Amino acid sequence: MRHLDRSEVSQETVQQSPAFTASQNSWQCVHAKDKAGWLALMADDVVIEDPIGPAHTNPDGTGVRGKQGVSSFWDNSIGVTTIKITCEETFPSSSPDEIAHILHLRFTFDNGSASAVRGIFTYKVNDVGLLTNLRGYWNMSMMKPAQGAEGD
């Protein structure tokens, strides 16, 4: 398997891709707790698998589907915590419509407890730049208690 030589795809090219833009905008909305802005990034037929497979966010393992489902996902998951997303590495694909990132997510809850997980997250957009798929490669056993203040 050949690894992408970073000189083959410029950072400028990656940053101009619709998938990169959508992923960045998604993180900004999560950080700002902007549910309406986050939902505006989604196609009507969006599918979120975060994590992929059965989990508390997705009991049947088929993903959260459509804007109504994604709105509930926000209310029951994203909206009940403060999330700090840190991108460790970005992997562009041959298509500007898909991108993958290694992300570190830190969750801080109202009671002061915190947890963190690291995983691979993929984003796919349609021809108008709206997110059609967001997939998270991680599982609950990877979620660990986080120590110290947010940002440590």
Give me the pLDDT at residue 12, please. 54
Cis peptide preceding 145, ω within 30 of 0: no
Domain map (residue ranges) of the chain: 13-145
Give me the pLDDT at residue 97, please. 97
Give me the pLDDT at residue 148, please. 56
Give me the pLDDT at residue 4, please. 44
Token match 């000189």: residue? Answer: 7
Dihedral class, residue 110 (left if φ above 0, else alpha if ψ from -120 to 50, else beta)? alpha
Give me the pLDDT at residue 85, please. 98
Give me the pLDDT at residue 57, please. 86
Assigned CATH topology for domain 13-145 = Nuclear Transport Factor 2; Chain: A, (3.10.450)
Per-residue pLDDT in tens (0 to 9) along the chain, 152 residues: 334 444 455 555 566 899 999 999 999 999 999 999 999 999 999 999 999 999 988 899 999 999 999 999 999 999 999 999 999 999 999 999 999 999 999 999 989 999 999 999 999 999 999 999 999 999 888 889 887 544 44
Give me the pLDDT at residue 134, please. 98
Give me the pLDDT at residue 133, please. 99
- Cα separation values, 132 from 23, 55, 127, Å: 11, 20, 10
Cα–Cα distance between 149 and 70 in angstroms, integer?
29
Q: Do residues 115 and 130 lie in contact, with contact meaning Cβ atoms separated by under 8 Å?
A: no
Give me the pLDDT at residue 142, please. 85
